[in-house]
Amino acid sequence: MADTLAQDGESRPVIEICNLGKWFDTKSGRIHALRDISLAVQKGEIYGIIGRSGAGKSTLVRCINMLERPSEGKVLFEGLDMGSLKERDLNVVRRSMGMIFQQFNLLMQRTALENVCFPLELSGVPRDKARERSMEMLELVGLASRAKSYPVQLSGGQKQRVAIARALSTEPKVLLCDEATSALDPETTDSILALIRDINRRLGITAVVITHEMDVIEKICHKVAIISKGVIAETGTVNEVFFHPKSDIARRLVVPEALHPDKMACDKLWRLVFDGQSSFEPVLSSLVLACGKPVNIMYASTRDIGGTAYGQMVLQLPEDPESLGRILAYAREKGLFLEEFNHV
C-alpha cells in the first residue's frame, strides 16, 4: 500500500473483537445478525469492513462503540473490555471514538460551527475553548469559510466535512465511518476519501470504514474484512484480497460482472492481474505472440489500490495444451499473476 503505517507491530490492537455475536429476539423467533466475529485493528490502520446490504456490517460498527450491546463475545478498546464498563466510563471511552454517518446527522437549527461544538458542549468544555477547537477542525476539513452556514446551505460533501470535523472535535483515537460516502456522488466521494486518508496520515487516527463498495476499500484501506450473512468470510490486506480472493463473496466483489453465468457462457476462464508496472507494458499482445493464437477478453477493469494503478482481465485462453502451456510459461517468466478463475 502507498500509505505508511505506524511501526507498532508488537503493541496491543487498538480495537480487538473476540467471538462477538449479536441476535435479536422477535415474535417470529431469534434473528442472528452477527456470529462469532473476531478481528483486530492495529493503531494507525485504515481497516475496511465490506459487505452487501443486510450482511451485518452496520450492526458490527454499533457493537464496536457499544451503541448496540453484543449478545456474546467481547469488544476490547486499548485492552479495556468495553462490555464490563459502567455507563460513565463507557461514555469516556466513546469520546475516543468519533463516528461519521451516511446521512450526516447534523442539527439543522445549528450552524456548521455550532454543530462541531455540540459534542464538546456535552462534555463540559468551556464555550470559548470549544469554539476555538471547532474552528481548528473546520479549518482542517477545508470549511472554515462556511462556519456560519446552516446545513440547508451546504452541499452533501460539505455536510459530511462538517460531520467529520464534529467527529474529530473530541480528539478521538479512532474514527468509525458507517457508509460515510454512500449518499455522495463519485467526485465528492473521492474528495471525502482523500480527506479521511489525509487525517489518518497527518493525525495518526485509526479509521474503521464500513461500506458496501469495493472501490472505497481499494482506495484508502490497508486491511479488509469481508462480512456475509453475519459472519466474516475473509480477511487480509487489500492487495491480498484483490490478487487472491478466497471466498465466493470476495470474488464477487473483486470481479462482479464476471460471475454472472448469463454474461459468461464459457466454462473455463483465466484471471490476469496487472500491477502498477506491468499495466504499462503490452502484456496481452505479448501473450498472443507467445502462444500464436487469439485470446478472448471477457471482462476488464482498472483499480486504484492505495494510490497505485492495478488492472485485471478475465480471459478465455486457447484450450489446446501446447498453446496454453506457452501462455502459462510466459506468465511465469514475466512474473504475471494468471490463475484459472471459477466464475460460476
Q: Is the dihedral of CA 192, 196, 198, 199 positive or negative?
A: positive
Using one digit for the tens of pLDDT, what is the confidence trace for 79-121?
999 999 998 899 889 889 999 988 888 999 999 999 999 999 9
pLDDT for residue 78:
93
Burial of 122: CB neighbours in 10 Å, binned 0-12, 13-18, 19+: exposed
pTM of the model: 0.85
Which candidate, 275, 285, 278, places its Cα nearest to that of 315?
285
163 close to 101: Cβ distance less than 8 angstroms:
yes
E-state strands within 71-205: 72-77, 80-81, 97-100, 174-178
Which candidate, 204, 169, 170, 208, places its Cα nearest to that of 61?
208
Please provide residue 121's backbone torsions phi and psi, each rounded to the nearest 5 degrees: -60, -45
The whole-angstrom separation of Cα 204 and Cα 253 is: 29
Beta bridge partners of 340: 270
Least confident of 3-17, 159-173, 215-229, 234-248: 3-17
Q: Is 50 helix (H, G, I), strand (E, B) or coil?
A: strand
311 close to 300: Cβ distance less than 8 angstroms:
yes
Using one digit for the tens of pLDDT, what is the confidence trace for 83-92?
999 988 998 8
pLDDT for residue 232:
95
pLDDT for residue 158:
95
Domains of the chain: 15-250 (3.40.50.300), 267-341 (3.30.70.260)
